Amino acid sequence: MHSKPKHRIRLLSSKTCFSKLAFFFTSVALILLISHIATAENPVFEAIGTDNRPSPENIERGWISLFDGETLFGWKAQSNADWKVSDGTIKATRGDKGLLRTTTQFSNYELSVDFKATAQTNSGVFLRTSPAPKNATDGCYEINIAPETDPFPTGSIVEHSRVKQPIESDDQWHNLRMIISGDLGEVFLDGQKVSIISAGGLGRGYIGLQFRKHEVQFRNIFLNPLDLKPLLTNKGLDKWISDGSGETTFTINEAQQLQMQSGPGQLESKQHFADFVLSAKIKTNAKGLNSGIFFRCIPGEKMNGYESQIQNQMVDGDPTKPFDCGTGGIFRRQNARRIVAQDQQWFYKTIVAVGPHISVWVNGYQVTDWTDKRKPDANPRRGLRLSAGSIMLQGHDPTTDVLFEKINAAELLPRR
């Protein structure tokens, strides 16, 4: 921050003035967003993917799938509703009202969800939510799915914003697209912008699907983390440290890709991360190579952190039987449940670490959902490490030959 604004803040040092100033800037930002929404053309509706898989183009843009179409891996029910997977959809028909929510927390993101509701259905999609909110304003934002006669019909943000032209609950598939970044958010219904919100005060949280009354179905649940910053730039390796003690070489090739060759050795990020999201585009240049992305590392020590494995081999050609943990697995902690990537082809990895919980997606498919239940310890080899640490890229052995075309990361907003 420049010196002049700092002096202004000191002059407005009383609690009352500060609250008024914060309210003023939030109001101005919301007015600007309302003006933008009122004047901008609504974008043409674009499907992120089909059959619960993002398209290859959208995987490259950073989209991941929160629902694999077959299981509730990565989800947890917070009530006794009859949540189940049926014909590629998540479905609930009866039971106690409550959420089916992700096991992973997110802060800034774009979310796309297809839903089908009957004329009597009352449901919703919850953003930045606690696991079991008491109501629609208790540590969450609820994007409602409800009849036209409801005070907040489908697409409304309950207790915050009501859509002006409700749609009929016609037992047909519709799409909700939600963008939430920092303190502002917006909602699209079938490609039309319908609601906005000043979304400050919560930070990160889970994503929830609600059962409240009558049948509801969900599919094609896709998320794209927003506001990530590049750790690989056109300045080369300016954001990284190599002490030169290992045998791995780290170079920027003619295609502006980071190439790791030989080993062992490591490259360490200057920036440290505790609760974060990271995405990377990776390619192994030979079959059976072993590497990894380490995180929450003790700075300066030899690869002393949690390791998200890079190893695309499988046992007996079965992708559900990874060899040596498998790409996306947390080495020595949880194997990847499926090999999704292939050697000598570009693949994409997304890592989200929040507190003791770690989840990993490969090519948009979630392969890891693990919680470190060990006792806290500053050394992640001995126990749960929550402190911020460096990211380390591993040169495993003399056969190492791995490319990184992009590495983007961001610290997640704290839960407030």
Q: What is the pLDDT of residues 248-289, one digit of tens each?
A: 999 999 889 999 999 999 999 999 999 999 999 999 999 999
Using DSSP, state whether 37 is helix, strand or coil: helix
Q: Is 415 a residue whose pLDDT tops 50?
A: yes
Q: Per-residue confidence at 18, pLDDT binned at 50, 70, 90?
A: very low
Alpha carbon distances (Å) from 243 to 86, 269, 300, 396: 53, 12, 9, 16
Q: Do the first three CATH levels of 26-225 and 229-411 match, i.e. the same topology?
A: yes
Of 198-202, 219-223, 313-317, 372-376, which range is least confident? 198-202
Q: Is 201 a residue whose pLDDT tops 50?
A: yes
Cα–Cα distance, 99 to 133 (Å, whole number): 9
Q: Per-residue confidence at 243, pLDDT binned at 50, 70, 90?
A: confident
pLDDT for the residue numbered 202 = 87
Q: Is 7 a residue whose pLDDT tops 90?
A: no
What is the pTM assigned to this prediction?
0.89
Cα–Cα distance, 366 to 73 (Å, whole number): 8
Give the domain 229-411 fold: Jelly Rolls (2.60.120)
Closest CA to 223 of 256, 268, 263, 178: 178
Locate the domains of the chain by residue range: 26-225, 229-411
- State the DSSP string of 344-364: TS-EEEEEEEETTEEEEEETT
pLDDT for the residue numbered 199 = 64
- Residue pair 409/274 in contact by the 8 Å Cβ criterion: no
Q: 348 - beta bridge partners? A: 281
CATH 2.60.120.560 fits 26-225, yes or no: yes
Mean pLDDT of 125-136: 94
- Residue pair 185/155 in contact by the 8 Å Cβ criterion: no
Q: Is 230 a residue whose pLDDT tops 70?
A: yes
- Residue pair 230/62 in contact by the 8 Å Cβ criterion: no
List of residues 6+ apart from 157 with CB closer than 8 A: 141, 142, 143, 144, 185, 187, 195, 196, 197
